[in-house]
Amino acid sequence: MTKAHDFTPSYLCGTSSEPLLYKTIGEALKDTVVKWGEREALVICHQNIRWSYKELLAKVDAFAAGLLHLGLVPGDRVGVWSPNNAEWVITQLATARAGFILVNLNPAYRPRELEYALKKVDCKALILAKHFKSSDYIDMVKGLIPNVSDCHAGQLATDEFPSLKSLIVIGDSAPSGFLKFNEISALATAIDHKNLIDLQKNLQPDDAINIQFTSGTTGAPKGATLTHHNILNNGYFTAQRQGFTHKDRLCIPVPLYHCFGMVLGVLACVSTGACMVFPDESFEPLKVLKAVSEEKCTALYGVPTM
C-alpha cells in the first residue's frame, strides 16, 4: 500500500497561452498591493466604506493577527454567517493570509442547518451578523448554545460544539459570550503580527483554504474543500476572459457566501487590481443601478432571476 506522503499533487493542464497561477491568495493580494496599492480596492455603498488596496491589506492583516491571538492556527476552520459587507471580505482575505480555512454559511440557514454545518467541519470560530431580513442570528446561536452567556468571550465551552471557541459578532455591540468584530484587530500584539509573517512562509497554493457546502437537494449538504490554487485561478481566469484590468470596477450584488461572489467577484478583482463595488447587503435593484451609475462600474454581475 502506498503511504500518503508518497503522493504528489498533479494537474491535467491543456494547451494554454498563459500558465496557471501558483501562489496563495495572500501572495496574490500582496502582489496587487505592490502594483496598485493606492487604487481603490473596495467600495461598500451601504456601509459608506471606500478603501484602497493598501488600506484593505492593512485591515486584513490586523484582523488575521487578532485571530491568531485568539488561539487559531493554520488549518482551523472559521465560519462566516452574514450577508454581503466589508467584514465578510476582510474575513475571506484574512483567513487566506493566515492559513485558516474559511467556511461559507448560507445567510438563509436555520438553526438545524447551522448546527449541521458547524459540527460537520468542526468550526473553531464563527463570525456572524446580528440579523439579516427576518433571521435573528444571535437568538438562533443562543438556542443552539444555551450557556453561551455564561462563557467568557473567546473561551466558549460547550458539549454541543466542542471545537467552537469564539463567537465574533459584526456590529458595534455584542451580547455576553460574544466578541465584537471591530475589537479583534486590537487584540493582536507585536508577536502576533510577527507570527503572521512567519507562518506565511509555510503556506502553499495546494493548501485547503475554503469549504463551501452543496445545497443538499438530494441529501445532507456536502462540504467541498477548495484550495488557494483552485479558487484563485478560477477568479483570475474569469477576470482574464472578461478582459478585466486594474482600471475596471465590478459591481457585485450576488452573495459572497456563494462562489459567484467570493471567487468570481472578490478573487477576480484581487488578482487583477480591479475595484469591488457592493451596492447593498443583498440584491436591491434600485441600489444596484445607483451603484453602477455613481461608481462608474465597468461590469455588473447577476443571474437571470435578478
Q: Is residue 3 over pLDDT 90?
A: no
Please report which helix (H) or strand (E) contains residue 77, including its range.
strand 77-81
Please report which helix (H) or strand (E) contains residue 210, including its range.
strand 208-213
Specify which residues 167 forms β-bridges with. Answer: 126
Q: Which three cell numbers stand for residue 186?
A: 486590537
Q: Is residue 305 part of a domain?
A: no
Q: Is residue 6 part of a domain?
A: no
Q: Is residue 6 over pLDDT 70?
A: no
What are the phi and psi torsion angles at 82 (to 5°)? -165, 155
Q: Which three cell numbers stand for residue 265?
A: 467577484
Quickly tell me which residue has 494554454 as its cell: 16
Q: Is residue 13 part of a domain?
A: no
- Three-state DSSP state, 247: coil
Give residue 1's pLDDT: 44
Structural domain for 90, as ranges: 21-300
pLDDT band at 11 (very low <50, low <70, confident <90, very high): low
Q: Is residue 11 part of a domain?
A: no
Q: Is residue 15 part of a domain?
A: no
CA–CA dist 129, 25 (Å, integer): 25
pLDDT band at 152 (very low <50, low <70, confident <90, very high): confident
Predicted TM-score of the model (pTM)? 0.94
CA–CA dist 29, 115 (Å, integer): 33
- Three-state DSSP state, 135: strand
Give one DSSP letter per residue of 186-198, joined into a string: HH--HHHHHHHHH
Amino acid occupying residue 269: C
Give residue 26's pLDDT: 98
Least confident of 10-24, 33-47, 85-99, 144-158: 10-24
Give residue 65's pLDDT: 99
Answer whether 166's CB lies under 8 Å from 125's CB: yes
Closest to 74 (Cα-Cα) out of 58, 47, 94: 94
Q: Is residue 112 part of a domain?
A: yes
CA–CA dist 105, 81 (Å, integer): 5
Total domains, the chain = 1
Q: How far is CA 94 from the centre of its chain?
A: 8
Q: Which three cell numbers stand for residue 295?
A: 461608481
CATH assignment at residue 122: 3.40.50.12780
Residue range 31-40, pLDDT digits in tens = 999 999 999 9
Residue range 273-285, pLDDT digits in tens = 999 999 999 999 9
Q: Is residue 166 over pLDDT 50?
A: yes
Give residue 33's pLDDT: 99
Q: Is residue 81 part of a domain?
A: yes
Q: Which three cell numbers stand for residue 119?
A: 459540527
> In the structure, how many helices (H) and strands (E) does the chain have?
11, 14
Give one DSSP letter per residue of 197-264, joined into a string: HHHHTT--TTSEEEEEE---SSSSPPEEEEEHHHHHHHHHHHHHHHT--TT-EEE--S-TTSHHHIII
Give residue 17's pLDDT: 83
Residue range 84-96, pLDDT digits in tens = 999 999 999 999 9
Report the mean per-residue pLDDT for the chain: 95
Residue range 186-222, pLDDT digits in tens = 999 999 999 999 999 999 999 999 999 988 778 888 9
Q: Is residue 10 part of a domain?
A: no
What are the phi and psi torsion angles at 106 (to 5°)? -60, 125
Beta strands at 179-180 and 131-132: parallel, antiparallel or unpaired = unpaired
Q: Which three cell numbers stand for residue 244?
A: 478585466
pLDDT band at 154 (very low <50, low <70, confident <90, very high): confident
Q: Is residue 4 over pLDDT 60?
A: no
CA–CA dist 274, 245 (Å, integer): 6
Give residue 219's pLDDT: 81
Half-sphere exposure of 185 (CA within 13 A, CB side): 13
Average pLDDT of span 144-152: 91
